[in-house]
Amino acid sequence: MTQPVLSVRDLRVEFVTRRGILKAIDGISFDIGKGEVLGVVGESGAGKSVTGSAVVGLIDPPGRIAGGEIWLSGMRIDNLPPEEMRRVRGKRIGMIFQDPLTSLNPLYRVSEQLIETIRTHTNLSASGARKRAIDLLAEVGIPAPERRIDSYPHEFSGGMRQRVVIALALCAEPELIIADEPTTALDVSVQAQIISLLKRLGREHGTAIMLVTHDMGVIAETADRVAVMYAGRIAEIGPVRDVVQNPLHPYAKGLMGAIPSLESDANRLVQIPGSMPRLSAIPPGCPFNPRCPYVFDRCRVERPEPIQHSEHRVACHLYDQSPVRSEAVA
């Protein structure tokens, strides 16, 4: 297997608060290969966005990376000094945020923001950077970019602004793009355009993409593999088709069961009873055990480690047993 673009090993992120240390990310590991799209799903507070921020080194105090390693194309980046990490950000890792309306500085022209970013990471001249900025806008599908480039952000629509944000993330041709809920704030029709744009960019440039979202539809359409997160841990990770159609982890089952389908005629969508535990009150053992329909004694005392099961990796004691037992559940 070739070297993955991003490799995260046993990453832990903590927030130090007055009432003690909260573990926002508690030992997660995953890889993203060249040109691959990894979807990261989970409820709010499951640690999806924190994972993205940790990878680009933007965890602000009181948060901190408490352990584990992050490797970018064979280079360890989680312990880089701040100035070197800044050079990695934007140049080798591009980031896209949720709300295009607030991601751009309202007081600067799009051209100024693009050229500033390009010139920070390359040694292009001002005119060279401007030419590249126009090319980038064309690439992300902004019509008449040479005319639009000197507009201010508020003169663009939401979808167009998200394209500008993507162009900004692409300025230095990064190896990895972290897209944190890139479509959540957009209309459905615009969502589809942005998703296909991301897919095309990944395909054409071989960029690895980490797509953080809570929208399973977006994941199913875009991702090659998907990681389901719950309470700061990865419950299940595997190829997107397998995970969507045949989820193993009880939480993943619940999550997929909650997606409405046009074909089947279900009267009620399946709900997962209860809600995710607060970070200050994660139960011992498996964090999902109070809500799990298949819970048994071991779940309440022992934390399940991820185990390989066919093409998935799943953190659940059910699959640590004989095949008979898991058959009975599935």
Partner 1 sequence: MFAFIIRRALQAIGVLLAVGIISFAMFRFAGDPVNQIVSLDTPAAEREQVRRSLGLDDAVPVQFARYLGQAVRGEFGVSYQFRQPVSDLLAERMPATLELALCATLFATGFGVLMGVYSGLKRDSLLAKVFQTISLIGISLPTFLIGILLIYLFAVTLGWLPSYGRGDTVRLGWWSTGLLTTSGLKALILPSITLGLFQMTLIMRIVRAEMLEVLRTDYIKFARARGLTTRAIHFGHALKNTLVPVITIVGLQFGSVIAFAIITETVFQWPGMGLLFVQAVQNVDIPIMAAYLMLVALIFVVINLAVDILYTIVDPRLRTSIRQPA
- The residues that touch partner 1, with contacts defined as CB under 8 A, are 56, 58, 86-91, 94-95, 97, 99, 102-109, 116-117, 120-121, 152, 154-155, 165, 168-169, 171
Q: For residues 8 and 73, what is the distance between their CA atoms, to the nearest angstrom?
A: 11
Q: For residues 319 and 330, what is the distance between their CA atoms, to the nearest angstrom?
A: 10
Instruction: Tell me the C-alpha to C-alpha distance, in Å, between residue 174 and each of 77, 171, 177, 211.
Output: 15, 8, 7, 15
Residue 219 near residue 285, CB atoms below 8 Å? no
Residue 14 CB, nearest distance to partner 1 (Å)?
20
Is the Cβ of residue 213 or residue 289 nearer to partner 1 in the bound state? 213
Is the Cβ of residue 108 or residue 296 nearer to partner 1 in the bound state? 108
The owner of tokens 């809500």 is 291
Residue 93 CB, nearest distance to partner 1 (Å)?
8
Is the Cβ of residue 91 or residue 214 nearer to partner 1 in the bound state? 91
Is the Cβ of residue 79 or residue 102 nearer to partner 1 in the bound state? 102
Q: How many CB atoms lie within 10 A of CB 293?
A: 10
Instruction: Tell me the C-alpha to C-alpha distance, in Å, between residue 197 and each of 111, 127, 249.
Output: 21, 27, 31
**Beta pairing, strands 233-239 & 225-230:** antiparallel
Residue 168 CB, nearest distance to partner 1 (Å)?
6
Residue 210 CB, nearest distance to partner 1 (Å)?
13
Residue 13 CB, nearest distance to partner 1 (Å)?
17
Is the Cβ of residue 105 or residue 157 nearer to partner 1 in the bound state? 105
